[in-house]
Structure 1
Amino acid sequence: MTSLRLRMMEDMQVRNLSRHTQDSYLLQVSQFARHFAKSPALLGPEDIHAYQVYLTNEKKLAPRSVQVTVAALRFLYRVTLGLDWDFDRIIPCPKAPKTLAVILSPEEVLHFLGCIESFKHQAILTTCYAAGLRISEATRLKPEAIDRQRMVLRVEQGKGQKDRYVMLSARLLEVLTDYWRAVRPTGTWMFPGAVAGEPISTSAVDATCRQAHRMSKLSKPVTPHSLRHAFAVHLLPAGHFKFLRVWSVKFLHPRGRTRDC
């Protein structure tokens, strides 16, 4: 590990950046250095400009992807290297177009969830939809996060490293209860992963999501985050979900599940 990388890690740690942000910034800076085969400390504004042109024109990265690189390089040069640059000019941040998300209908959500083979992954992605959670939040749920008395889920250290409560519908409680009784997970996490003591990885759930999307033959894109978007749209003033009205099959049950794909 280089001294510059170690110093950047320490700078992020003392500022209490999330682990996800730290890993992302280190990856972006590593790719930047690898592109030029030089330490970033030896690279300047012209190199940064050339790299941004490369990411945009050759790699064809979307503006939001380039924004992550910009944030990482700004942190490196402003904080770790302590340079007094005009960062808006030297490392400009591309403007991302504002588009409307493609929203799945309640029936499409139901169809997609029914195409997931794994009971565990089915429960995780149902939680993303029924509670509006990010995939990183759903995978890191703990059993004690379920508050049956108040019918809420406690989300610990979500985006922005903030704790919060989200609504827990009776149907989602039933799903999580069925999952718990069938799988009997041990340890800290509701959804343990392959590594002892760690929750299931988001990449594993993403892979399952892609496979289920192929099986479902839905034309609309489906990701864990699109399920979160669907939650926001389908939520009714009374606090119920449209999809619950059509959920009449024995869905998410370890035995005798009805599938339609």
Structure 2
Amino acid sequence: MNDLVPVIPATPVSPLRQRLIDDMTMRHFSRETQRNYVRDVGRFAAFLGRPPDTATSEDLRRFQVEQREAGMPIPTMNSVVSALRFFFTHTLDRPDLARRLVRMKQMRKLPVVLSRDEVVRLLGATTCLKHQAALSVAYGAGLRVGEVAMLKVRDVDSERMLLRVERGKGGQYRNAMLPADLLTLLRQWWKLGREQGVMHHDGWLFPGLHAMKPISTRQLHRIVVEAAQAAGIAKRVSPHTLRHSFATHLLEDGIDIRIIQALLGHAKLENTAFYTRVATRTMHAVTSPLDKLGMFLPSEGTPPG
């Protein structure tokens, strides 16, 4: 499966939809993004009751107002805005309409982060070497779940100790770190996968149920949830939790935030800086100016805590 292959609906494709698909394919949008954009533009067309290329600024305003009044979640509303902005800017060459779309502000929740002990327990609770290797890549290299799924065997560069991420967010290419212990684990998985007949030099690093297709992101999500339950971890865990934990643990170890930004593939430093809010070891390493005043030293016999 190639995630750059355009989405081909079962029904005949209209020229306008095909043009949208071609525009996304040309920009190396992932298969999932293409599917979502086609769906969201179709949602607007259904609201409009006529082809979306006939829309006016007032149509867009009414559409967003009705979405909000219907109680549509803010992340979903913003996803629709992204799809429509692309459609009007690139497919229709109507940036004037794209500017009429409003993104909703959303309070960003603190990410769930596992302690190092919890990571050890989670990885140890996986049911097979393939699953352990896949989750170890997510944590050890800080990859997104889609990036883990789309890795191929040839993306493992043991000479430079890098993982080549060719299908990152927004179609971006980058290099991720390849820790020595992770390479050892991947070599074990390669040997076992070859014995099982599911691993090939030009194949997927983590094949799905069919060796010619990669593991699905849904399956990776199920794997991490089941491993967390088996490990007795009560936190709400997803594959992205391992990426959050990777970034937070690096920050706590004193790694420069710009290096972490590059490892994560973040376009904006502010996205990486968000992890300073959950890096507890970094916070504990800071001495409060109140403590430096020395006004409230404990007296003898005062119990701690």
Q: TM range, normalised to the smaller chain?
A: 0.7 to 0.9
Q: Tell me what 1:82 maps to.
A: 93
User: Is the aligned partner of 1:198 residue 2:210?
Assistant: no
Which region of structure 1 is more displaced relative to structure 2, 49-58 or 92-101?
49-58
Q: Structure 1's 151 and 41: CA in aligned 2 closer, same or farther, altered over 3 A?
A: closer
Figure out how many residues of one structure are paired with residues of the other and give that number: 237
Identity %: 37
Which region of structure 1 is more displaced relative to structure 2, 73-82 or 113-122?
113-122
Per-residue CA distance 1:45-93 (angstroms, 9 max, x = gap): 344334323443434413x3322210111122233233352533x2111
Q: CA deviation at 1:180?
A: 1.8
Q: Tell me what 2:15 maps to.
A: 3
Q: For structure 1, which runs of at least 5 residues remain unmatched after alignment?
A: 240-261
Q: For structure 2, which runs of at least 5 residues remain unmatched after alignment?
A: 1-12, 257-305
User: Is the aligned partner of 1:179 residue 2:185?
Assistant: no
Using the size of structure 1 for normalisation, the TM-score is: 0.77
- State the secondary structure of the residue aligned to 1:220: coil
Q: CA deviation at 1:121?
A: 2.5
Q: Structure 1's 119 and 48: CA in aligned 2 closer, same or farther, altered over 3 A?
A: farther
- Contact 2:190 2:199 (8 Å CA) reproduced: no
Write out aligned runs for 1:69-108 (5 A): 69-83=80-94, 85=96, 87-88=98-99, 90-108=100-118
User: Is the aligned partner of 1:12 residue 2:12?
Assistant: no
Q: Structure 1's 136 and 10: CA in aligned 2 closer, same or farther, altered over 3 A?
A: same
Q: Tell me what 1:223 maps to.
A: 238
Q: Tell me what 2:60 maps to.
A: 48
Q: Structure 1's 127 and 196: CA in aligned 2 closer, same or farther, altered over 3 A?
A: closer
Using the size of structure 2 for normalisation, the TM-score is: 0.67
Q: Tell me what 1:249 maps to.
A: none
User: Is the aligned partner of 1:155 residue 2:172?
Assistant: no
Q: Tell me what 1:128 maps to.
A: 138
Instruction: Measure the CA separation in 2 of the matches of 1:209 and 1:51.
Output: 38
Amino acid at match of 1:147: D
Instruction: Measure the CA separation in 2 of the matches of 1:199 and 1:37.
Output: 38
Q: Structure 1's 75 and 107: CA in aligned 2 closer, same or farther, altered over 3 A?
A: same
Instruction: Measure the CA separation in 1 of the matches of 2:46 and 2:121.
Output: 44
Which residue among 77, 81, 91 is the counterpart of 1:66?
A: 77
Instruction: Measure the CA separation in 2 of the matches of 1:204 and 1:229.
Output: 19
Instruction: Measure the CA separation in 2 of the matches of 1:12 and 1:34.
Output: 21
Instruction: Measure the CA separation in 1 of the matches of 2:44 and 2:71.
Output: 13
Higher normalized contact order (CA 8 Å, seq sep 6+, divided by chain length)? 1
- State the secondary structure of the residue aligned to 2:171: coil
